[in-house]
Structure 1
Amino acid sequence: MKVLFVVPYPVGKAASQRYRVEQWLPVLDEQSINYKLVPFWDSSTWAILYRKGYTLQKLIGLVTGMLRRLLLLFQLPAYNYIFIHREATPVGPPWFEWLAAEVLRKKLIFDFDDAIWLPDTSENNAAAASLKWQQKTAQTIKWSYKVSAGNNYLKEYALKYNPNAVYLPTVLDTHQKYKTQKEQLTAGVTIGWIGSHSTVPYLKLIEPVLQQLEQNYTFDFIVIADQKPDFKLRSLQFIPWSEQTEIESLLKLNIGVMPLPDTEWAKGKCAFKALQYMALGIPAVVSAVGANTVAMPDGVCGYTCSSTKEWYEKLELLLQYNELQTKLGRNGILWVEQNYSVQAHAHTLLSLFT
């Protein structure tokens, strides 16, 4: 069996692709399944893609990526399955997907982990967003042999267009990468968050809570990201994200947070930050939105919050009681191992190729 992974990003550069595609490759190796990954963006363009300026370089990178996709069509007959993560091209209609499925009659497996059918315009992607094809996700789902959805909200959307949609959560390798337990008996307490420039604005939802907590408690608030946030917090510490130091940085946290607005886009999120915290024995405090309410059992591995008052109360509780941090953290490790690990869902991944 041969599988072609048509992916957006250079290998090792984006969390979505690393956890939805790249971490599954050893499972395919064990089954003697041959595969190849073909990113759209090259490394040099990816390095500047979300930085201001560089318009000409970005345009050259886009055109080059489109040409590579066109040439890739000639290689498709050699593969049994074409696995597309999110989209084959970042702008325009799904011409690659249509040609692969409807003209070349290849078995498409479509994987998505966000509500990518919704417009999601920000300062960083305003120009590109205007070139998006609104019906791309629905059309690709219709043409696909099978669909892999990161949460049940996404699966329900996919089932409108294709009955062969399965729920495959974003999972963690608890035997290799996420195998260290946070030691909660530390001199001070650290609350923290991990994410990217696109989700940093969500932290504004709990900035007033953190400011209020600062008046009554001593703690550090760590942000692990690719850009330093502009927050008015005296406890703020910034750690630049890198794949090499990701686990080391996370283990600095005693408490992990994941605030989300109650929007359709947020409902498409897959609770990944909460899973990262729990897998390392870090209790999570999250917004009671979308997949968070399923992935994070309230009161067992942390807390789900529906109001500013609840955010303050739950964080205060964890700040006051170190033994509670330890108890909830241990519960989280077991929960992720049983329900959100590579080992727990390998059979689901392999079922896509049958």
Structure 2
Amino acid sequence: MTQTVEPAHPAYAIPAALRGPDWRNPYAHIPPLDVFAWSADKNGCGFYRTQLPMQGLAALGYATHHATRLPQPVRHNRDVIVIGQRVCDPNPSIMWQQLASEGRHLIYEVDDDLFTVDHRSPAAHQYYGRPEVRDNIRRNIEVATAATVTTEPLADIVRQWNPNVHVIPNAVPDWLIDHQVPQPDDGTITIGWGGSATHGMDWDHTGQQIRRLLQREPSTVLHCIGNDYGALLKAPHRRFTPWQQSVEDYYRAIDYTIGVIPLLPHLFNVAKSAIKATEAAALGIPVVASAVRPYEDFVQDGTTGYLVRRDHEWASALRALIHEPDMRTEMGLAAREQARRYTLSAIAPLWEKALTA
């Protein structure tokens, strides 16, 4: 967790050599704001739930800013709406409660069920399993004006503490719809996945099915981005790309022919969003995904990809897409058309509604 409260900066803390016309105001670079998003991190979650929404609201005419620190001008300007992403550390929670006591317009943003993090994600499980952290989450949701979440199952959880919950799906940048994924001209079929090290339980459950398919299909290669589950599986044909400097760079590293999205039926996963399928759809990539709630709600089985309900279906679904290029193309086009409903310009009005409802 990197979310912090920014301390007051005395004027004498600014070196004389750096003092410009407004040197007495160390926040002169921050324009007057309508909305400030207090990000919990600078990773994918921060991008999808604070950075990208602020871009969408800016396109609608709002003055926006986002950072992992709460700047003093935002702290003292009662007109600024503050969106707090997963505020739960001690000092940020104290500040959140103080802002609430002043009658500030606060929106609590959360995109995961933080009360059911699996032990196979040890760092997150250890942190969010702490009673004081869970208590802070509950209290901070309770005092917020509203809350925003990614899915309806997650909304049902958050409504225990605040009835004013807005379900806002993750969006992708509009330009992604027109981005062309590079494909090799040697007949290689790239089966791809991207994500963090928190998906161990998903690959433990499904990985061997994918590994056997790779063994039987010599034209295939498994490309993992972010965390190298291919190496853990000892997949026979594999490539690995580490996390990129930005989410945009991550998009450009995607060269999948087919996307795979294993997801274990687990309470934590039921409340997750379908962002991996949304990314693939925007890029025109058909997917084979576990038939778990996020993907049941997004993937149109047999039209934009396949949903897997039994272990043996991984091989049959992947084999069909490997050997039928026309079907791959048709499914990719249908997926891309579906993804237009999840672009930033399409989803931004939902963020605006959350600000005003």
Establish whether TM, by shorter chain, passes 0.5: yes
Distance 2:147 2:202 in 1: 29
Given that 1:256 and 1:282 are in contact with CA atoms closer than 8 Å, whether structure 2 keeps it comes out as yes
Aligned CA RMSD, in angstroms, stands at: 2.5
Distance 1:124 1:340 in 2: 31
Alpha carbons of structure 1 residues 348 and 127: separation in structure 2 relative to 1, 3 Å: closer
Alpha carbons of structure 1 residues 113 and 183: separation in structure 2 relative to 1, 3 Å: same
Letter matched to residue 239 of structure 1: T
Mapping of 1:33-182 within 5 angstroms?
33-40=62-69, 72=72, 75-87=75-87, 89-90=88-89, 94-101=93-100, 103-121=101-119, 122-125=121-124, 128-129=127-128, 131=130, 133-174=133-174, 176-182=175-181
Given that 1:141 and 1:162 are in contact with CA atoms closer than 8 Å, whether structure 2 keeps it comes out as yes
Letter matched to residue 140 of structure 1: N
% identical aligned pairs: 21
Is 1:204 aligned to residue 222 of structure 2? no
Given that 2:176 and 2:283 are in contact with CA atoms closer than 8 Å, whether structure 1 keeps it comes out as no
Alpha carbons of structure 1 residues 130 and 203: separation in structure 2 relative to 1, 3 Å: closer
Distance 1:313 1:27 in 2: 40
Distance 2:58 2:92 in 1: 33
Aligned to 1:7: 39
Aligned to 2:17: none
Distance 1:154 1:127 in 2: 21
Is 1:289 aligned to residue 292 of structure 2? yes
Letter matched to residue 266 of structure 2: T
Cα drift, residue 183 of structure 1: 6.5
TM-score by length of 1: 0.81
Distance 1:129 1:147 in 2: 19
TM-score by length of 2: 0.81
**4+ long deviations beyond 6 Å:** none
Tell me the secondary structure at the aligned position of residue 335 of structure 2: helix
Gaps of 5+ in 1: 41-68
Match of 1:336 among 319, 336, 339: 339
Aligned to 2:234: 232
Distance 1:28 1:210 in 2: 41
Cα drift, residue 112 of structure 1: 1.3
Give the number of equivalent residue pairs: 317
Alpha carbons of structure 1 residues 233 and 119: separation in structure 2 relative to 1, 3 Å: closer
Aligned to 1:345: 347
Cα drift, residue 286 of structure 1: 0.7
Cα drift, residue 153 of structure 1: 0.7
Given that 1:190 and 1:254 are in contact with CA atoms closer than 8 Å, whether structure 2 keeps it comes out as yes
Alpha carbons of structure 1 residues 91 and 234: separation in structure 2 relative to 1, 3 Å: farther
Aligned to 2:49: 20
Gaps of 5+ in 2: 1-32
Tell me the secondary structure at the aligned position of residue 198 of structure 2: coil
